[in-house]
Amino acid sequence: MKALLAVLIIAVLFGLNVWLYRANKKTPVPAGCENLRPECNACGIRDCAMRGQFTSGGKEDNHGNH
């Protein structure tokens, strides 16, 4: 009985997650937030996924960081 209850709770949480994900995808982007770009000048993480998407290709300046 405890195992059935555990499976039921997990199924409900999974269903809630799927429903919230779909509802979030349907929500329109707020005005002024359509083309946001991260400010990656101060971040020292070289392999950041966001940094690679928005920087102007090629090698970046090291700015004294080694």
Q: Are 50 and 40 in contact (CB under 8 A)?
A: yes
Residue 5, in any domain of the structure: no
Look at residue 40 and tell me if it is in a domain: yes
Q: Does 61 map to a domain?
A: no
Quote the CA–CA distance of 39 and 44 in Å, as a whole number: 12
Whether residue 51 is predicted with pLDDT greater than 70 in this model: the reply is no
pTM of the entire structure? 0.50
**Do the domain assignments include residue 66?**
no
Secondary structure (DSSP) of 35-53 = T-----SS---TT-HHHHH
What is the per-residue pLDDT across 54-65, written as a single tens digit (0 to 9) for each?
665 545 555 545
> Which residues form the domain of 35?
31-56
User: For the chain, what is the domain count?
Assistant: 1
Evaluate whether 44 touches 65 at the Cβ level (below 8 Å): yes
